[in-house]
Amino acid sequence: MKAPAFRWVFDHMNDTRNFLPVYFQNPQRFLGKREAEICLAMGLSMFDSLENAEIRFQVMFDNIGKAAYQRFGTKIATAELTESDGVCSLLDANGHFTNYPLENHDYETRFVPVQQL
């Protein structure tokens, strides 16, 4: 089974922030945090459609302005995810889900930018 996934990414696809869950960017930051929060931080935020990825980014832009590009990315990229791409949470009402990728995933080469944010 395959399903399209959309994720915000930075200008260059080899940018380490694109597919490294926030927990692994700085595990120290999560010392003393609740387990649920740590678990969430080990996943990658994704959307089921281009439109939902755009809508969500607009919410971020409305609230934090241009800094949204600095924190979240500048483009939307897409790839087909399969059952072998780790574990995914259920979709929420905004078409958002969290993907918990395998350690040696190849998202950098599979995700393709499709739209500028």
Partner 1 sequence: MKQLKGISLSQLDFTPEHLGDLLYQEGPVLAHFVNMDNPAKHYLYRWTDMDDTSNRWLVIKLSEKQLFEYLSRQTSLLQLVQSASFVYFLDLDGDLQAKQISLTAVADIPVDYLPGSNSYFEEKQFESYAAELRNRLKYKIPFDLALQKALGELLKEYGKVEAAV
Residue 61 DSSP SS3: helix
Q: Which two tokens stand for residue 41?
A: 């931080």
Q: Which two tokens stand for residue 88?
A: 């995914």
Candidates 14, 35, 36, 63: give the one binding partner 1 (CB under 8 A): 63
User: Judged by CB under 8 A, which stretch of 23-31, 74-82, 83-91, 106-114 contacts partner 1?
Assistant: 23-31
Residue 46 DSSP SS3: strand
Q: Which two tokens stand for residue 105?
A: 């995933």
Which amino acid, 110?
A: R
* In the complex, minimum distance from the CB of residue 60 to partner 1, in angstroms, rounded to a whole number: 6
Residue 14 found at the interface with partner 1 (CB under 8 A): no
User: Judged by CB under 8 A, which stretch of 59-67, 80-88, 100-108, 109-117 contacts partner 1?
Assistant: 59-67
Candidates 82, 94, 109, 115: give the one binding partner 1 (CB under 8 A): 94
Q: Which two tokens stand for residue 99?
A: 């993907």
- Report the run of H or E that residue 108 belongs to, with start and end: helix 107-110
User: Rule CB under 8 A: which residues touch partner 1?
Assistant: 21-22, 26, 28-29, 31, 41, 45, 55-56, 59-67, 70-72, 93-94
